[in-house]
Amino acid sequence: MVKASLATEPRTRDFCSRMRTYLAVIDDKPEARTALRFAARRAAKTGGGIAILALVPAPEFVQWSGVQAAMEEEERLRVEGMVAEAAGALIKETGLTPDIIVRPGEPIAVVRDILKQRPDIAALVLGAAADDGPGPLVEHFAGAEAGKMSCPVMIIPGSLSDEALDRLS
């Protein structure tokens, strides 16, 4: 079992003044893996920390509440398994123990809330698909919201190889 600290409360100011944290938003797409690897390597090289945010998408509405609840629970468990696997690989590669944040809700609003709650976040790290164009988070935070951010946004191309990530991070 992977040990990671669950980020339920905002960090204290004393902790925040000592730690620079990279927030990587992940899902099951390859570009998310690339962004997480880049963020973890940057954190390891700069003496910082890493927070992994996994979003639980809202399931489509189902008329029966029992079925709806079961679908939501199944999706939450799938996302938690995905993030635990990613955290395990990160720990093995870098030795860093990430903060794991699993949240349901509208992705842009969830990311905004995390950034407001966590003054230790030094950069928001997002992966960009190699062939499908930017996803909604990249489009939003590198577009209309870019000038209002509380931290830099790093957009990591999904086409980068592991060797290129090692060189660039």
Taking only the tens place, the pLDDT of each residue in 108-166 is 999 999 999 999 999 999 999 988 888 899 999 999 888 889 999 999 999 998 889 88
Alpha-carbon span 117 to 28, nearest angstrom: 25
CA distance to 45, 133, 159, per residue, from 119 (Å): 20, 30, 31
In order, the DSSP letters of 140-169 are: HHTTTTGGG-SS-EEEEETT--HHHHHHH-
The domain 20-168 is placed in CATH, from the list 2.60.300.12, 3.40.50.620, 3.20.10.10, 3.30.830.10, at 3.40.50.620
Alpha-carbon span 156 to 159, nearest angstrom: 9
Q: Is residue 39 a contact partner of residue 67, using CB atoms and an 8 Å limit?
A: no
Domain ranges across the chain: 20-168
Alpha-carbon span 51 to 43, nearest angstrom: 10
Q: Is residue 24 a contact partner of residue 79, using CB atoms and an 8 Å limit?
A: no
Pick from 42, 50, 29, 156: nearest CA to 101:
50
Taking only the tens place, the pLDDT of each residue in 67-92 is 667 777 787 788 888 899 989 888 99
pTM (2 decimals)? 0.80
Tokens at 32, concatenated:
């998310």
